[in-house]
Chains A and B, each alone.
Chain A
Amino acid sequence: MKIHWWPWGVLTLVSLVLLSFFVLYPLAVLFGNSVVDDGGGYSLAAFLALARDSEYVQAFKNTLVLGFSVTACTVLVGVPFAYMVARYEFPLKNLVAVLPIMTIVIPEIIVGQSWLLILGNNGLLTNFFADLGIELPSFYGWTGMVFSMTLVYYTYIYLGVLAALRGFDGQLEEAGLSLGTSPLVTKMRVLVPVMLPAVLVNALVVFTLVVGNFALSMLLGSRVPLLSVMTYNTFVSEMGGSPALQSAMSVVSIAIVAVVLFFQKRVVERKVYTMTQGRAPAPVRVRSAAGLLFTLTVGLVILASLLPLVVVFIGAFTETSGPVMRWGSWSLSSLQRALHAAPEPIINSLKFSSIATLVGVSFALLVSYLTIKKRNLFTQALDYIVVLPLTISGTVLGIALVQTFNTGWLVLAGTSGIMVLAYTVRRLPFAVRNASSTLFNIPESIEEASISLGVSPLMTFFKVILPAMRASLISAAILMWVTTISELSASVVVYTGGLETMPITIFRQVDGGRLGLASAYGAALVSVILLPIVVAIKVFRINLFSSK
């Protein structure tokens, strides 16, 4: 195929250079550092040291155990939940429509923090039960992590299985029944085998997210050693020292995720069945008693998912004295301090997220346009590089960026640039996926129609493609904004004094036991997240989460 250099060939090369420099190169540096010893020679000393470190081995095991436990719990919650919603009609069912919004939008750090406010050592419920003479088990450690991570991640299973159930041809079950199997046996033999791969695909996603999770592991992990926490701590304590150990740890984390994703691509995704036709059976209305039970179950899950939003505001307005929350007595002092005395984190967050969103969405638009509409060998490469950040946890990405850009001709460490870069790289795969799915649905012929009417290919992009993508670009921008503004794991690694964002400040305040001030920043964070969503839905009438 002939490549026309202007304009798409040039833009492809520019994109390729940018991605190589900001994504591939830092990863290469990280991998390189992991096998370089103090003298500058190559050795596997760092990996050997990790293998001999009993705490690290324990952390490795713990991380896998945590991954499996949380994944199992999310499946146990998400699958029945999806089945109820797909197949039954019950009071208040419409409430579940808000679920996907909430889990995407509520920052993990807020979830962890609010459950600490409720069930932590000085929590609302903890105190309540203590007054009654009942001592609740400590929320720190396995209980708190599995509980909060399940609440954060079960929607991945729920949404995936719901989509699969809605795409399932109800006639298949009728065919089973007509061939003489009982309703239960029919479900086991016809529905379950088709659903299983869909469950597994999403379960693997949850697994990788748990393995990479930083905020909840750090806040609630307490004395349970975990890979992400150890990696972070090694980085913090080793700043300026030999980077071999932190690099080796990072490489191990990447390897775990890579293995899982490889398994997902090679084994599981091939088994996913697509149904070209067919209609899901209409939801059945359930009778009074059972309906009440359904409503209660669903209500409970939703309540647990949304509770952080309420609690963080209560916490923000509650009077504190040092680390102690005086529940029931109200005060504006926390908010006053956060908004007035120390508003830098808020300003920083707004600034970094806005720039990252602008850069990220524009670049994602360019890359997806090139990879979908102007395919060639080079755009293929773009396609591969752009999803790489998916295999890297935020912590690891942060370490890679710091190691790469703290020396050399481009020093970004210590500047706003590295914050924006971390945000942009982390969310780029999602932004590209967003833009791509819309571009896929824009037929080639629309561009050709414009060109045939006398408009040049480049102008056609601006006059036809951009307007046709308007809604999806707005929603992509909002999603990128709300996710970057709550980003913690990469930014907490790359930030330096003066660059604190809201999540970083919340993290540090919670870590220091000042839950009141943390809540004040939390309330501000939630507000700036909810505002654009409400505007998008009310003003632009955009269905933000339809592509999900």
Chain B
Amino acid sequence: MASITIDGIVKQFSGQTVLQNLSLHIPDGAFYTLLGPSGCGKTTLLRCIAGFYEPDGGRLLFDKDDVTRVSTHHRDIGMVFQDYALFPDKTAFDNVAYGLRARKVAKPEIARRVGEALERVGLSALAGRYPAQMSGGQRQRVALARALVIRPRVLLMDEPLSNLDAKMRLQMRDVILDLVREAGITTVFVTHDQEEALAMSDRIAIMDRGSIAQLGTPEDLYGTPVNAYVADFIGSANVIPVAARIVDGSGAAPHVRYQLAGHELDGVAGSPRLDDQSVLIARPEDLSLMAPAPHVPNALSGRVLRRQYLGFKTAYRIQLHDGPEIRVELHAGNTVAAFQPGDTVQVLVPADSRVVGA
């Protein structure tokens, strides 16, 4: 087990900078997720940690050891791949034993540890099977057992769930969490699935074009996104350009007033400086609808464009008068969920909605 310190790592591919001076500290035993769309550099960062890519600048430390120039096979890592990467000519047992044999572990101990590892992922009965004879979920369990059985200093997982079907994905989340918690191993998990990231991580690093856009707990990222990119990526908020000014900068939640659809509304500032180029972050589920009424604070009038009934909630698309479109989601328990397309409504924007720099 070890902490990971990434110190100003730079990585370029044929002149294109993929990681820009990126720093991140992952404490011993923590579960960190690198989240972002494809091309944001998350896999590149993971592969730098693994040693498959040599960074063009910066340092990488496992605890106090500088491993920047250490080759992969001397780094003592465990890695789980997107396509499982099981050796096709070896049985589940031999796949799991591979790393132990490379470490010259004594035969009886190999048998014992592989047996334990397979049992822990619930595959004792399939030890003699070849990868081709197993389902996707089973293969992923073997891959997990193979990475963990060597008791690596860090565990690296590259979109390990993306090749599984939806149901198996949920199941494997628990399997992975149980195993890494039990082993107390430092884990870096790469995914583009925000729900997966929220459900599994101690901390999430949202990446954008080779840098970390925001690092925080799942609650931080959902509740207090620092910019439009993060807000849009996690939970797909309404991100609406507004002109804003900070009224009262003192206190933990600085008060802001902003212009939207001809009205002036109250909000909370998410950035230290705001101007005409700011954005309002309004999550559809935080907004609510009401029939038109005079003098309602923080309300904007609009017309219902479309209503989609989704069972546990109802999603609306509203065209604001003299303003943009906005999405509103009402929970099934909400009694007013009965507006029809064409109805005029008022959209209530909570006064604690965040306004951040664009």
Taking beta carbons and an 8 Å cutoff, which residues of A are in contact with B?
1-2, 443, 445-446, 448-457, 463-464, 467-468, 470
Contact = CB atoms under 8 A, between A and B. Distances in A.
Contacts of A452: 50, 72-73, 75, 77-79, 147, 156
B54 interface: yes
Interface in B43-61: 50, 52, 54
Sorted from nearest, which 3 A-B pairs have the closest CB atoms?
Answer: A453-B99, A445-B85, A452-B79
B90 A467 contact: yes
13 contacts: A445-B83, A446-B87, A449-B85, A451-B72, A452-B72, A452-B79, A454-B74, A454-B76, A454-B99, A455-B98, A467-B89, A468-B88, A468-B89
B339 interface: no
A463 to B, nearest CB: 8
A523 to B, nearest CB: 38
A455 B99 CA distance: 8
A450 B81 CA distance: 11
Nearest to B13: A1
A452 B85 CA distance: 11
Given A445-B82, A455-B73, A450 B87 contact: yes
Nearest to B72: A451
B146 interface: yes
A456 B51 CA distance: 12
Contacts of B79: 448-449, 452
A468 B74 CA distance: 24
B73 A451 contact: yes
Given A453-B146, A467-B87, 16 more contacts: A445-B83, A446-B86, A448-B52, A448-B81, A449-B85, A449-B143, A451-B52, A451-B72, A453-B78, A454-B73, A454-B102, A454-B103, A464-B87, A467-B90, A468-B87, A470-B89
A167 B52 CA distance: 37
Interface in B83-134: 83, 85-90, 98-99, 102-103
A103 B167 CA distance: 50
Given A468-B88, A468-B89, A453 B83 contact: no
B150 interface: yes
A445 B139 CA distance: 14
Contacts of B77: 452
A454 B103 CA distance: 7
A257 B85 CA distance: 42
Interface in B1-60: 14, 50, 52, 54
Nearest to B76: A454
Interface of B: 14, 50, 52, 54, 71-79, 81-83, 85-90, 98-99, 102-103, 143, 146-147, 150, 156
Nearest to B150: A453
Contacts of A456: 71, 73
Nearest to B75: A452
A443 B72 contact: no
Contacts of A470: 89
A2 B52 contact: no
Contacts of B50: 448, 452
A1 B14 CA distance: 7
A454 B89 contact: no
B288 to A, nearest CB: 45
Contacts of B88: 446, 468
Contacts of B143: 449
B98 A450 contact: yes
Contacts of B54: 2
A441 to B, nearest CB: 10
Contact of A449 (B71, B81, B89): B81
A504 B299 CA distance: 96
A452 B83 CA distance: 15
A455 B102 contact: yes
A1 B81 CA distance: 24
Contacts of A450: 87, 98
B99 A448 contact: no
Contacts of B146: 449, 453
Contacts of A464: 87
B125 to A, nearest CB: 23
Contacts of B150: 453-454
Nearest to B143: A449
A63 B98 CA distance: 58
Contacts of B14: 1
A58 B88 CA distance: 57
B187 to A, nearest CB: 14
A405 B77 CA distance: 53
A454 B146 CA distance: 12
Nearest to A471: B89
A7 to B, nearest CB: 13
B97 to A, nearest CB: 10
A443 B87 contact: no
Contacts of A1: 14
Q: In this complex, which of B50, B87, B99 has the most chain A Cβ atoms within 10 angstroms of its Cβ?
A: B87
Contact of B98 (A2, A453, A457): A453
A443 B158 CA distance: 15
A443 B147 CA distance: 18
A455 B86 CA distance: 15
Contacts of B81: 445, 448-449
A162 to B, nearest CB: 26
B85 A457 contact: no
Nearest to A457: B73
Given A448-B52, A448-B79, A467-B90, A453 B102 contact: yes
Given A451-B72, A467-B90, A446 B85 contact: yes
A1, A450, A453 — which one has the most chain B CB atoms within 10 A of its CB? A453
B82 to A, nearest CB: 7
